[in-house]
Amino acid sequence: MDVTLSVIKADIGGWVGHSVTHPDTLRRAGELMAEAKLQGHVIDYRVMNCGDDLQLIITHSHGEESKVVHGLAWDVFLECTEVARSLKLHGAGQDLLSDSFAGNVRGMGPGVAEMTFEERQAETIVVFMADKTASGAWNLPLYRMFADPFNTAGLVIAPNLHCGFSFEVHDVYEGKRIVFSAPEDLYDMLVYLGSPGRFAVKSVWHRDSRQVAASASTQRLSLIAGRYVGKDDPVMAVRCQGTFPAVGEVLEPFAYVNIVAGWMRGSHHGPLMPVGFDDARCTRFDGPPRVIGAGFQLAEGILIGPCDMLGDVAFDTARRKALEIADTLRSMGPFEPHRLSLDAMEYTTMPEVSERLASRFEPINAG
């Protein structure tokens, strides 16, 4: 039987400021999801948070983009927004960009990563959730997991991984997509993956079996809203073991520090720090950006977990390095490359400033 895993997330209000999700909103989400499970709408669920984002990890049999599941998630976010409003949390309902639900949360603010597959004898999955960063932050880790033999030994030495993986990449500005096959398209693919502000990996597939291996959220809030409204704070789900990279190969990219966009006001680069669940709390300069990894085994769609994968001491060195990089970048204040480039600022505050100052610019050779 096919099972669908849907990871749907939204920032519906922060406590304190944009630091974390309040326990009362998590509790309310849990109550509503428990009710939905009792009524048989979903097989299982977990309510989690990374920083100020609330994630619903749901297993069900309705397939992707299902009205039932997306509608449920939308209702949960609306109810949790009410809780956030009653506590006067910061930015209550900030990611819900529309007043009316039209059957699917895509394009309405929440981030979605979904995959449908036949559950294997042992179905191992890691769900990654990030805060204070943009869609595209997964490009580098996904490249390492599924295309880099220095990261994933299995690409070289496991016969069932040797065929490689294909990558579905979205141009989030133009609304176009392209599929690359690794290893033969690697150099072409990296031209695009290396620009995560515009190109983001949506999904990864095993080339022989055509089984889905990974799925990521790629919504760009600022592009949907046409102005800066908050961070994408993406999620992704990765299947592991067997014909997919081992859990350790999937976690390995996070042992190295990836510098991402999205820190303070969505306008700064910062290190994506791997942390345990209890440290998914954004503080310094509203960050630094962080990522958690929730490991699960599936048993007939029941989520056995989460296991806190990045909380392990094996990632302490990455954390220390991330904090050192944070110091270096912070010392640059409003200067690039800590602050995003002018191009990226075009989608935030830059147009307002340039319009206001337009008349003060004059040709250099005026006199």
Q: Which residue's CB is nearer to Mg ion, number 53 or number 148?
A: 53
Interaction pattern, residues 88-107, with ligand F6R; x per rule: CB under 6 A:
---x----------------
**Where would I find the H helices in 23-115?**
23-38, 67-86
Among 41, 60, 62, 132, binds ligand F6R (CB under 6 A): 132
Active site residues: 11, 228, 231
| Sites for ligand F6R among residues 159-218 (CB under 6 A) | none
Contact 263, 131 (CB under 8 A): no
Q: Are 211 and 117 in contact (CB under 8 A)?
A: yes
Q: How far apart are CA 207 and CA 166, in angstroms?
A: 6
264 close to 229: Cβ distance less than 8 angstroms: no
CB of 11 to Mg ion, least distance (A): 4
Tell me the closest approach of the beta carbon of residue 2 to ligand F6R, in angstroms.
35
* Helix (H) or strand (E) segment spanning residue 187: helix 186-193
Task: Please list every residue from 23 through 82 that binds Mg ion, using CB under 5 A.
Answer: 51-53
Task: Report how far apart the first and last C-alpha atoms of the chain are (Å, whole number).
Answer: 77
What residue 148 binds from ligand F6R, Mg ion, none (CB within 5 to 8 A, per partner kind)? none
Q: Identify the residue whose tokens are 């948070």.
A: 49
Residue span 251-290 as binding mask against ligand F6R, x where in contact by CB under 6 A, dash where not: -------------xxx-------------------x----
Q: According to the binding rule CB under 5 A, does residue 252 interact with Mg ion?
A: no
Where does residue 88 rank: exposed (0-12), middle (13-18), buried (19+ CB within 10 A)? exposed
Q: Is the Cβ of residue 91 or residue 311 nearer to Mg ion in the bound state?
A: 91
CB atoms under 10 Å from CB of 7, counted, come to 28
User: Six-digit token pair at 351?
Assistant: 């147009």
3, 6, 18, 252: residue in contact with ligand F6R (rule CB under 6 A): 18
Q: Which residue is nearest to ligand F6R (CB)?
A: 286
Binding site for ligand F6R (CB under 6 A): 17-18, 91, 132, 230-231, 264-266, 286
